[in-house]
Chains A and B, each alone.
Chain A
Amino acid sequence: MTTTSAVISVRGLGKSFGKLEVLKGIDLDLMPGEVLGVIGPSGSGKSTLIRCLNMMEVPTAGEVRFQGRPVTPKFRGRGGAIGTGELRRKVGMVFQHFNLFPHLTVLGNITAGPTKVLGESRAEAEAHAMDLLGQVGLADKAKAYPAHLSGGQKQRVAIARSLAMRPEVLLLDEVTSALDPELVGEVLAVIRRLADTGMTMVLVTHEMGFAADVASRVLFMEGGRIAEEGSAEQILRNPTSERLRSFLSRFHS
């Protein structure tokens, strides 16, 4: 099996909220350098799945492994298991609504993790932050507060904040769906460049064109299960099943 080389592997993953069973036995291997697109109708469990990967949601069945080590929902791992503290340093997450820290400047947002969590010096963290801000095209906004940024700028800062932790995997949950249409492009461009540098990513998205373009593999989720899985070409351009075809038809204008 290939599980040994997978960064994240998921077996029999289930998640219920009370009686509502949202994920029903998910198996998944995320390979290094892979960009995994996750698509599917609203309520199919895409967010829940991606949130189980960094233990934002605690699975109610099955297991998640990171680099072969079982993941526990505790902050500190024990006996070979990896706790959420270490896991989240290595698996970054970008949110739909950015969730920037409003009381900190852009620079403060990006350096908070490296200085408080990784123990980097302020100078070191700021140098890295400025470098990242350059990469997302916001070097001139270092001293600005989030309230003074556009949605697209906020999301680019949020991506830089995640990257500042030097993660091995980045989880992105519909990171462009809260944005005005004209601001989507600038965020997608940043993700595109990340993909080109070989960053391993899981990308929940409704941007089918972008998924087709950037994802190396695509999952189609439905009713808490992976209904189809394959290369972006296969899933998005030549869908075979009727359900997937009807789902995709809603995105072709």
Chain B
Amino acid sequence: MTYHWDFYTVMQSFDLMLWGVWITFVYTLGSILIGIVVGAASCYARLSRFWWLRLISRSYQELFRCTPLLVQILWAYYALPMLLGISISNTTAGLLTLSLYVGSFYAEIFRGGILAVDKGQREASAAIGMSSVQSMRYIIMPQAIKNMLPAFINQSVIQLKNTSLLYAISIAELTYMTSVVTSESYRPLEAYSLAAVLYFAMLFPLTQIADHFERRMRRSD
């Protein structure tokens, strides 16, 4: 039996899919930005000389890295409001969970990047009179960022794909919108194929741009 592809019906709802792309993009970017801040703080705490800061940071990281993201999202939306006795919108629950989740991975990526910088670099920058803040800013971080970039990009690509789990709490990102289009058009094959193409179209240019930057940073090698 041959399947008769019919993109016409699906294309009539293309604006809905594009809206899904936009929402996917917003949640990805928002959670990455918050995740960077959270990850940096957690990384800083892990490198602190206070054991209790290290412990808190470590616990946070393990909690988010060792439980499934879908469970975290559902927990934040359904369980957390019961626990706290407040209502939490799906937007808040979704963005918060995604951010904390990616932050826990970023933290370890950042830490690995910093620790991979030779300790002679810190000594050499101290030896010309730099303060530890200056040394971090001008000498350690530029090298650490270069070290961590591939893993950071990889995690961010995964993050965009992870937004599809927001489907479970009815956030209008691309996967959710695709399900809406499917139920209206009865064309799941076309709709989900189109969704895959749209995800690809979002990520592929990003990975290309990332490669370009990585190559530029490797000029000094």
Shortest beta-carbon distance, B129 to chain A, in Å? 4
Determine whether the beta carbon of A92 is less than 8 Å from that of B221: no
Interface segment out of the listed B71-79, B115-123, B184-192 = B115-123
CB 8 Å contact bits of B6-38 with A (1 = contact, 0 = none):
000000000000000000000000000000000
Smallest CB-CB separation from A87: which chain B residue? B129
Determine whether the beta carbon of A93 is less than 8 Å from that of B220: no
Interface size range on B against A: 20 to 34
Interface segment out of the listed B39-47, B88-96, B139-147, B150-158 = B139-147
A118 to B139 Cα, complex, angstroms: 16
With a CB–CB cut-off of 8 A, which chain B residues contact A210?
none
Smallest CB-CB separation from B126: which chain A residue? A88
Determine whether the beta carbon of B138 is less than 8 Å from that of A56: no
A99 to B129 Cα, complex, angstroms: 15
With a CB–CB cut-off of 8 A, which chain B residues contact A75?
131-132
Question: DSSP majority for the B interface?
Answer: helix
B146: which of A99, A100, A103, A104 is its contact (CB, 8 Å)?
A: A103
Q: Does B59 touch A at the CB level, under 8 Å?
A: no
A241 to B167 Cα, complex, angstroms: 84
Determine whether the beta carbon of B142 is less than 8 Å from that of A88: no
CB 8 Å contact bits of A49-63 with B (1 = contact, 0 = none):
000001010000000
With a CB–CB cut-off of 8 A, which chain A residues contact B220?
102-105, 145-147
Q: Does B212 touch A at the CB level, under 8 Å?
A: no
Determine whether the beta carbon of B120 is less than 8 Å from that of A92: no
Determine whether the beta carbon of A117 is less than 8 Å from that of B123: no
With a CB–CB cut-off of 8 A, which chain B residues contact A54?
127
With a CB–CB cut-off of 8 A, which chain B residues contact A88?
126-129
Determine whether the beta carbon of B127 is less than 8 Å from that of A92: yes
Given contacts A88-B127, A117-B130, contact A103 B143 (CB under 8 A): yes
Given contacts A100-B124, A101-B124, A101-B139, contact A85 B146 (CB under 8 A): no
Determine whether the beta carbon of A95 is less than 8 Å from that of B120: yes
Shortest beta-carbon distance, B135 to chain A, in Å? 9
Shortest beta-carbon distance, A115 to chain B, in Å? 9
Given contacts A99-B118, A145-B220, A147-B220, contact A112 B139 (CB under 8 A): yes
Determine whether the beta carbon of A99 is less than 8 Å from that of B128: no
B221: which of A93, A97, A117, A147 is its contact (CB, 8 Å)?
A: A147
Shortest beta-carbon distance, B36 to chain A, in Å? 21
Number of A-B contacts (CB under 8 A): 72
Determine whether the beta carbon of B128 is less than 8 Å from that of A161: yes
Determine whether the beta carbon of A89 is less than 8 Å from that of B219: no
With a CB–CB cut-off of 8 A, which chain A residues contact B120?
95, 97, 99
With a CB–CB cut-off of 8 A, which chain A residues contact B127?
54, 56, 88, 92-93, 95, 162
Shortest beta-carbon distance, A69 to chain B, in Å? 16
Smallest CB-CB separation from B143: which chain A residue? A103
Determine whether the beta carbon of A102 is less than 8 Å from that of B124: no
Given contacts A103-B142, A112-B138, contact A85 B124 (CB under 8 A): no
With a CB–CB cut-off of 8 A, which chain B residues contact A105?
220
With a CB–CB cut-off of 8 A, which chain A residues contact B142?
103
Shortest beta-carbon distance, A253 to chain B, in Å? 31
Determine whether the beta carbon of B129 is less than 8 Å from that of A113: yes
Shortest beta-carbon distance, B167 to chain A, in Å? 42
Determine whether the beta carbon of A145 is less than 8 Å from that of B219: yes
A165: which of B123, B128, B134 is its contact (CB, 8 Å)?
A: B128
Determine whether the beta carbon of A99 is less than 8 Å from that of B124: yes
CB 8 Å contact bits of A201-213 with B (1 = contact, 0 = none):
0000000000000
Shortest beta-carbon distance, B93 to chain A, in Å? 41
Q: Does A116 touch B at the CB level, under 8 Å?
A: yes
Sample 10 A-B pairs with CB under 8 A, ordered by A number. Answer: A75-B131, A84-B129, A95-B124, A101-B121, A103-B142, A105-B220, A117-B129, A118-B129, A145-B221, A161-B128
Given A56-B126, A75-B132, A147-B221, 16 more pairs with CB closer than 8 A: A56-B123, A85-B131, A88-B127, A88-B129, A100-B124, A101-B125, A101-B143, A102-B220, A103-B143, A112-B125, A116-B134, A117-B129, A145-B219, A146-B220, A147-B220, A162-B127
Residue ranges of B at the interface with A (Cβ–Cβ < 8 Å)? 118, 120-121, 123-132, 134, 138-139, 142-143, 146, 219-221
Q: Which 5 A-B pairs have the closest CB atoms?
A: A113-B128, A99-B124, A99-B120, A89-B129, A145-B220
